[in-house]
Structure 1
Amino acid sequence: MKQPLLNVQNLKKYFPAGTDIFGRTTSYLKAVDDISFSIAKGETLGLVGESGCGKSTTGRTIIQLYKPTAGNILFNGKNIITHADKNLCRNMQMIFQDPYASLNPRMTVSDIIGEPLDIHKLTSGHERTERICELLELVGLNKKYSNRFPHEFSGGQRQRIGIARALAVNPSLIICDEPISALDVSIQAQIVNLLETLQQELGLTYLFIAHDLAMVKHISNRVAVMYLGKIVELAPANELYTNPQHPYTKALLSAIPIPDPAKTAMNQKTKLIGDVPSPINPPSGCRFYTRCAYAKPICADQEPLLSDIGAGHLAACHLTT
């Protein structure tokens, strides 16, 4: 089997959530709790789930913006947690959710895109200027914009600048942390089409984090579903959308709007009961059992493992075993 570009093994990220009178940590918020997955070169893995499930924390931990609590992150077979390598870090870049907050308002577009080039000492002088102009045109912006500031652009244009900055150092993997959620619907399609074009031209690999399930289906080869810090289902995109196995995945997919009143009336919504439990004190056993209409006694006692149920379709549910 071909070695994956990215291999995440038993990754955990806990944040201190409470202390005693001596300042010792007494509780942790388990944002990411023992997840494993891999991404092949040139593939797009979609990562979906409710707000607060740990999607963005997963991406930020992989790229080392957060230090992992436990687990391994293998990039091209090298563990980037135990063996820090500047070139490995250069090969992983991130596109952030808010295209305005992620750009320094006091820097020109030229300085923003050129900063990674300066940090990694890739180009200088005239070559640097040419590379910045090349990147602007690559993402669909006029090279004359290089001396403007972020506030002079629309949201979609700012996101294109963020994409150009990520591409500046020729990365292999780009983590897209909800790159379209802050944009208008018409602009979202343009950004997704741009990402697909860049992937084909440059051979990029994506971890695409998003809420929009319809858009995730469009861009992803495989999709992983997260709930309360755990991956509960992972499958090829078409397989997951046509044959979901986990009750949580079924509930998410039933909430996708259908632009046809007749089909909407026929579509049966799967309603979730109760509220999302606290990630500081998650339920025992299956973390979803407190909201699952099909829960059995075993669900409260034993945590289901993410198991292959056929054709590369993995699910963590006692109902599928």
Structure 2
Amino acid sequence: MAAASSPSGLRRSIVLKRRPKGEPNADDFEVREDPIPAPAAGEVVTRTIWLSIDPYMRGRLREEQTYAVAIQIGEVMTGETVGEVIASADPAFSAGDIVVGSRGWQTHSVTPGDRLTRISKGAAPLSAYLGVLGMPGATAYAGVTEICKPKAGETFVVSAASGAVGSVAGQVAKRAGARVIGIAGGSEKCLWVQDSLGFDDCVDHRSMDLRRELLAACPNGIDGYFENVGGAVQTAVFDQLNPFARVAMCGMVSQYNQTVMPPGPNLGFVVGKRVLIQGFIVSDRPARLTEWRAMAEPLVADGSLVYREDVIDGLENAPDALAGILGGRNFGKLLVRVSHEGD
């Protein structure tokens, strides 16, 4: 198939200018413009509508290799998007299609068609496919069902409970019959976790005595823990794990901005309590996203799966959004609205 003609206009991209020291800020990035490129055979050009901001992005800014390839100086910052097809050299896609899968902090992306998934308009808000119906939702589903495996009557704890991953993890555990305790930052978030998500209790990690409050919320100990935070929260939870507890290590956001890693906890208790601790990356389980989306779409549509979004307008504000999520200043799934549907 011949390459499609080049769309007119300019593309704006945010590239890495320098590696952040500590918390990233706008000076670590710069905006570049170039003509919107034409797609080669098998490629699709999309206009970005929504950009996802996620804690894992901080790891991509480090020079050393993590589980994913680091962003190099001068490269476009990574991030999943929902966009509208404006030009296609892939017969599977046509102008006007809405797709998820393009990556990058930019107004327009060129992506191989086999990396894109078409979204059915009207099934759910488009933004949901970057949160509850996207990678965060699938991450929660995989970690809870594969590692924590909560059972009826058990106590399940999830940190960052008001966030995109934690809020879904707790709801999945609740559906399994567990008693679910959230940990979140501030009274407003804790109230939302209890009142809107239906958790049995929520502990404020800013409490003067987190350990005591967590003990009061979990008088029978903790059987399953979904870890998103690390640090003092992790220490308080680990003290109260029951024998044969299961811990899904999803993230350690409290450490992402640190230049020197703190000493780890003494894990000697893992032997005596026979605790299962497993780290996982949802990209290792691509089938779980498809499975989760098929199962969760109807639950989002009927309102039984609850989610919240924190929206920031303008691509230029993506660096500030990243700093905000790493500092816990977001409330719900953090998104940048790059443009509007139908623009």
User: What TM-score do the two structures reach when normalised by structure 2?
Assistant: 0.26
* Bigger helix share: 1
User: What TM-score do the two structures reach when normalised by structure 1?
Assistant: 0.27
